[in-house]
Amino acid sequence: MKIGLGVDVGGTFAKLVAVEPRGRPLYQTQVPTEPGRGPRSFIRRLLGQIRSAELELGRKFEAVGLGVAGDVDPEKGVLRYAPNLKDWSGFSFKASLGDKLHRPLVVENDANMAAWGGFALELGKRPKTMVAITLGTGVGGGIIVDRKLYRGATGSAGEIGHMRVEPRGELCHCGSRGCLEAYAGSYGIVRSVRKLLGPGRKGSILKSLCPDLDGLTPSTIALAAEKGDPVAQAAWIRTGYYLGLGIVNLVYCFNPEAVLIVGGVSKAGPLLLKPLTEVLQSQPFRTPFRKVSVRIARRSDLGALGAALLALEESG
Amino acid sequence: MKIGLGVDVGGTFAKLVAVEPRGRPLYQTQVPTEPGRGPRSFIRRLLGQIRSAELELGRKFEAVGLGVAGDVDPEKGVLRYAPNLKDWSGFSFKASLGDKLHRPLVVENDANMAAWGGFALELGKRPKTMVAITLGTGVGGGIIVDRKLYRGATGSAGEIGHMRVEPRGELCHCGSRGCLEAYAGSYGIVRSVRKLLGPGRKGSILKSLCPDLDGLTPSTIALAAEKGDPVAQAAWIRTGYYLGLGIVNLVYCFNPEAVLIVGGVSKAGPLLLKPLTEVLQSQPFRTPFRKVSVRIARRSDLGALGAALLALEESG
């Protein structure tokens, strides 16, 4: 049985996972990214880790998939730009890693990898068409058409965090206004809470959980909302509302069978699902919504798993 | 050489066009729709017209494509709902027409047919991925992926007129608020002019062109704008702005090679293109826009042409 290796490169660590084609993980580990030492140093350490993993498992990886959070050219395997790895812009993973691996390498945006992981592992029968939305610091996505990863003209398909859901709205990290990410990315959610809190409110559950509001995170906000904090609850309603609008737009365009929400922020679960479902249900033109199932992913490591599985899929 | 017949069913007339596979029209005519007499009466008259067309041409149509403005189930060939043909809801063109034709029949939403026509005839080399936006009373669209018509889970892919570009915005015919159609459909454009005119303005070029403002149409508004009417110009800027936002969202999702704008309202040309191009160019995240060409279609009969060509394509 063939096994694949998936690598999910983040700003601090790269997660490695070896999986068999049905998604069972056989081995996992981490390599520090250490962005300051440059991408070549990272590649050397990654190759060392791959070799020792193969020794430990006693078998070779058939194919390697590597996902990076950022703007990736999948054809050339080049990281065009990554907010967390700014100095690595223009670096070709395919040239530097591919040459030394002597086996197929797939390089992709991390959201596309997570979308593939979700498509392969989260939905029972693989749907024909699917959209994944990844909620983290930023908001990304990936699109499946005809049970294949759909990449688009520049490999940018699924950049749904920058769909503009409120044209004169909140500022996004990209510099534009009213992008979905500006509401549903973790920084947008934290900003919502700050705005809603204002200077006057005291004694809220939020402040007791997180006296230093500088350290607010989506998970603290979710905890506060579950304990009944009205500001935290209002923030999730706002987030779910805009996420719902984004999904409405995706459904009218793409008419997918499934929408899968993945990533750290998706752990808020019902706090997100309830308001977004209300937006979906309030659309008067119903046909495109009849066959779509909207779910939150159970697994939290879909980026690395999907990287391994996509590499196996596209090499075999 | 095979020839196909395309039928574009509107509320008043159905346009028929016979074309050879490269798009050259060989024959065209019209059949009155007469919605009040019911769909079976229409089918009888259409079949009669098809027979006489074949006699006149001295050859048989290899395949027939039929497009209807409305919510169409392409798998079953059923018109689920059409605003212009309300009493025909639920009618199966495939059952009633297909049985009598004894040759392949493709039934589709008219915007998907126009998208296919544009894809086949308007862009020189056929792009791999394309989005068409049809601007008429309503706003529709069609999507090409991998040089095939992409239909989605319920055949509703490309319903981009109902993407919500201004969530608490103008009322749409569908009953929702802020849909693209509410700004870029002809009724939305006329409404923009009325709002901008207000009660006070007199002596504008618009009013001299169209003293009875009840008869305002996008073509009058375009003429007035070309003659320098500031209200008409502002209305086109508003329309182009929202159309630009819709295209931005499509490009971030789909990352197509081409966006083609078709339909009556697209005749406004530069009045639309200038403001929409400004929106596209103002997006800070540029990669997805690098390979996309945005154009207005030259042909005005892409619905019928596309129907014939899609029927030939999918039957052969």
Contact A160 B128 (CB under 8 A): no
Give the residue from B125, B23, B160, B40 showing the smallest Cα distance to B88: B40
Radius of gyration of chain A (CA): 20
Q: Is the pLDDT confidence value at A203 over 70?
A: no
Q: Is the pLDDT confidence value at B203 over 60?
A: no
Nearest residue of chain A to residue B128 (CA atoms)? A153
Structure token digits, residue B82: 């059409």
8 A C-beta contact, residue A241 and residue A275:
yes
Q: What's the average model confidence in pLDDT over B202-231?
A: 89
Among the partner-chain residues B151, B248, B291, the one whose CB lies closest to the CB of A154 is B291
DSSP A227-284: TT-HHHHHHHHHHHHHHHHHHHHHHHHH--SEEEEESGGGGGTHHHHHHHHHHHHT-S
Q: For residue B176, name the pLDDT band (cuts at 50, 70, 90).
A: very high
Distance CA A134, CA A261 (A): 6
Q: Which residues of chain B are within 8 Å of residue A255 when distances are taken between CB atoms?
A: 151-159
Q: What contacts A118, CB < 8 A, 6 or more positions away? A: A130, A132, A260, A262, A297, A299, A302, A306
Q: Which residues of chain B are within 8 Å of residue A71 when distances are taken between CB atoms?
A: 285, 287
Lowest mean pLDDT among A65-69, A217-221, B97-101, B129-133: B97-101
Contact B252 A174 (CB under 8 A): no
CA distance B51 to chain A (A): 35
pLDDT at residue A213 in the model: 81
Distance CA B197, CA A67 (A): 53
8 A C-beta contact, residue A82 and residue A89:
yes
Q: Is the pLDDT confidence value at B200 over 80?
A: no
Distance CA B312, CA A182 (A): 46
Tell me the CA end-to-end span of chain B in Å, nearest whole number: 12
Q: What contacts B148, CB < 8 A, 6 or more positions away? A: none
Give the residue from B1, B6, B4 showing the smallest Cα distance to B303: B6
Q: Is the pLDDT confidence value at A200 over 70?
A: no
Q: For residue A305, name the pLDDT band (cuts at 50, 70, 90).
A: very high
Distance CA A117, CA A114 (A): 5
Coil, strand or helix at A61: coil
Contact A145 B143 (CB under 8 A): no
Q: Is the pLDDT confidence value at A99 over 90?
A: no
Give the residue from B245, B244, B219, B241 showing the smallest Cα distance to B232: B219
Q: What's the average model confidence in pLDDT over B146-166?
A: 98
ipTM: 0.96
pLDDT at residue A74 in the model: 98
The pLDDT > 90 percentage for chain B reads: 91
pLDDT (tens digit per residue) in B31-42: 999 999 999 999
State the amino acid at position B62 in one-letter form.
E
Contact B250 A252 (CB under 8 A): no
Q: What's the average model confidence in pLDDT over A245-259?
A: 98
Among the partner-chain residues A158, A159, A255, the one whose CB lies closest to the CB of B152 is A255
Contact B284 A176 (CB under 8 A): yes
Helix (H) or strand (E) run with residue A91 in it: strand A91-92
Distance CA A287, CA A116 (A): 26
Instruction: Mutate one of B176, B249, B289, B290 to test the A interface: name it (highest A CB count within 10 A).
Output: B249
Q: What's the average model confidence in pLDDT over A49-65?
A: 96
Contact A253 B163 (CB under 8 A): yes
Contact A288 B253 (CB under 8 A): no
Q: For residue B202, name the pLDDT band (cuts at 50, 70, 90).
A: low
Instruction: Mutate one of A146, A252, A290 to test the B interface: name it (highest B CB count within 10 A).
Output: A252
Contact B154 A249 (CB under 8 A): no
Contact B164 A248 (CB under 8 A): yes
Contact B249 A164 (CB under 8 A): yes
Tell me the whole-structure pTM to 2 decimals: 0.97
User: A-B interface: how many C-beta pairs under 8 angstroms?
Assistant: 151
Lowest mean pLDDT among A86-90, B60-64, B205-209: B205-209
pLDDT (tens digit per residue) in A174-189: 999 999 999 999 999 9
Q: Which residues of chain B are within 8 Å of residue A166 when distances are taken between CB atoms?
A: 167
Distance CA A139, CA A173 (A): 11
CA distance A72 to chain B (A): 10
Q: What's the average model confidence in pLDDT over B238-256?
A: 98
Q: Which residues of chain A are within 8 Å of residue B284 when distances are taken between CB atoms?
A: 174-176
In the sheet that holds B293-296, the strands lie side by side as B148-150, B139-145, B130-135, B258-262, B293-296
State the amino acid at position B99 in one-letter form.
D
Q: What's the average model confidence in pLDDT over B276-292?
A: 97
pLDDT (tens digit per residue) in A257-283: 999 999 999 999 999 999 999 999 999
Q: What's the average model confidence in pLDDT over B21-31?
A: 95
Query: Cα–Cα distances in Å, from A314 out to A104, B32, B75?
Result: 9, 52, 30
The pLDDT > 70 percentage for chain B reads: 99
